[in-house]
Structure 1
Amino acid sequence: MVNGEKVDILLVDDRPENLIALEAVLASPYYNLIKADCGEEALKYVLQYDFAVILLDVQMPGLNGFETAELIKQRKTSMHIPIIFITALSKASEHVSKGYSAGAVDYIFKPFNPSLLRSKVEAFVDIYRNRKEIEVQRNELERQTADLKQKYMNLEVIIADKTKELLLANEELQVSQESFRKIFHCSPNLMAIRSLYDKKYLQVNKIWSEVTGYEIEELEGVLDNLLHIKPETSTEFSNETHSLELQDGLYNEQVTYVTKGGETRDGLLSTEQVYINGEPCIISVITDVTDSVKMQKEITRLDRLNLVGEMAAGIAHEIRNPMTTVLGFLQLSKKQQEYPTPIEYIDLMIGELERANGIITEFLALAKDKATDPRLENLNDIIYALHPLLQAEGMLGNKNVNLDLEDCPLLFIDEKEIRQLILNIALNGLEAMPLGGQLTIRTYVESDRAILKIIDEGPGIEPDVLKHIGTPFFTTKDKGTGLGLAICYSIAARNRANIEADTSEHGTTFIVTFQQSMRLCKNAENTTNI
């Protein structure tokens, strides 16, 4: 209890002037003086308040002071309240005797000394305050004890729950470790775990040793990159490829690696960083696709032979028309030797021969094994260089070419072929759009891959036409050869890119996704800068 709080004091006397006198002597901002003019009223107040001290006149009509005191002391909640009797001097001995029998702690004779009265009351108030302070502290201690008991009980419950969780987690961890061990050692893929601190091989699986030729004993303390992994298309930045196996976040990156016996094999490399006993490590997984690549090459060779047969008929048909025209005019000229061949006939024959030559040239562009010259190129720079040409072509038909280019790392591509790819698709888009249409060329990076989009506002492509897109000699144009998009698909394949078409009645979007990791391209860029 704060000492500044008011305490309740009960003044009991049947005479108003005596109450006024007591009130005047005890007036204080720290006391709440409550007055009663009889014993019955005093008992009512005792039920309502917790008094620090009671000043009780002995001689009162009805219940006198002694009787009132006895009733107060009989109640458990009020028996502790100190009572000071105020009595006449002539009956002091009687008051003293009865006062003690009634449980009084002190007495004052009338007329009383004000200073003595104040000092006695202040002493009992101090006792009351100390008792209240002790009660508050005891209650707080009991509350804290109860809280501690509750917390202890809760803690026991928490410990029991956590113990169960830990046991369950330990069981799950053991199952997980056992599963990882089985997956690691029984996987058909080459798996290795290496430390990022010192690049040491910590563990490899059985198939890794069988395919690479390196035994487990040879790996102890080895810091080198035994497999010499490098990107499949890497020719200019091999200095950076020695750390490829230790790079985080690769997914099915096409690589080649060299075994102990010197054999070069193909694979798909994926890496992930993990912490083992608090140490950062890299788990590398190589899916060996050497046999698949060989099979794909053989299938490609057979497909090429099949395609040659199919295309031969198409070429024969396409070239027969201009050759027939030229042959007819030459035969006509032979019969009319005395007359010179008109210049318009000669121009027509030249035009037909040029058309046949163009068909043959485009056909040769479809060759899958055509020699390419891939270099680190900026895709946006290629588009910027083509923009004036495309814009001029668009202006002829009141059409606009808009560029929306975001920063892209350098790509390992053949600049001339990519120019042809963009030009072919963009010109097709301009030709498909009505007057006032807008062609948009957009570039951005998504999921670590560079994306090129060419978006037109044409009528879209019909479903029965869409399924034949890219097929040689398939065209909807009156004077088309059907080789333009076929060439684009061939160029994309040679430059490790995929082409997809998304069409609707509002236009068509050709999406070219370059399957080159931006991380490898950045490594190549850094090496070139060095």
Structure 2
Amino acid sequence: MILIVDDKPENLVSLRGFLEHNNFSVDSASSGEEALRKVLKTIYSLIILDVQMPGMDGFEVAETILDYSKAKDTPILFLSAVNIDKEFITRGYQSGAVDYITKPFDPDILLLKVKTFNRLFEQNNQLKQIQKSLKKEIEQRKLLEKKKDEFISIASHELKTPLTSMRGYIQLLERIINKENNEDLKTYISKASFQINKLGDLVSDLLDISNMESGKMKFNIRPFSFQDMLNNAVENIQHIFPEHSIIRKGSADLIFLGDEMRLEQVVVNYLTNAIKYSPDKREIEVESIITKDTLEIRVSDSGIGISKELQDQLFEKFFRVEESSNRFQGLGIGLYICREIIQRHNGICGVNSQLGKGSTFFFNLPIKNT
């Protein structure tokens, strides 16, 4: 709806008839004070305002309207037959008007301007509604994300207690079976222990994510031998997967300032992934490269690989490649945790891979931390 403000009844009747003839809804006010009362109750798409009026003139009305939050976006068009000098036109724009038309005016030009300002107001309102809707959706996404993180945290903590008990009972069984020297039972217990350890690793990953999201993940920063940490990680994996051959290249013989346990967690994740996703191959390569600025660790396999278009998503939370999700178990959070750990050490993670020909996962760390 358009509001016309003019103290002369003949002007109101004439302009109102013209606009209504062109399919606009129109309201009118015969004074500045009446216009302000109407603006308090109704949102208008355009206000056509006479300048010279008794009491409050058009400039004062415009300035007051702009101070009112609900009407501050309503375009104001000044229409005047008396105040046509440059100083009045200038003041009109300074008062917040979008245009200043002097009489006599061309009806076609006025109609075009009214249509344009009316359309702009409607589009602006539509944009506001879209923004409001998006904001509401984002707040709902954030609430759901918070609830999900709370659930992960609670579930992870609750799972740790029975897992600890199960590990204890398995260890007791292992001692009893070792005394009886029953090979079949040893095999079954070993498999059960392996599966419990896998479940424990998943719970630990969920806890890590929960702590990351809440900013509670702690890092124990201290100097340590990077080469010793790397050796320890490789030896542990080699012990668990004796049928695989882990080939070493290069050296990481330096003292590094960081969290040794967390960085070993990254190396172990890279190694287990390399073994997991190359089921028909038996060789894994670990390469250490020291340059002037960085220490780079590369873990390469000759496994299934991953397509180029999916490589950028590998380090995202809960991402899993659909083609391999049925063959290989996992939650899709290991690499996300690796990226967070490396980023906390001011480094970067990445992957180079070719579908069907294997992958090389790497991370770079700044040499200034040595």
Sort the TM-score into its range (normalised by shorter chain): 0.3 to 0.5
Report the TM-score when normalising by structure 1. Answer: 0.31
Choose 1 or 2 for highest CA Rg: 1
Q: Greater RCO between the two (CA within 8 Å, min separation 6)?
A: 2
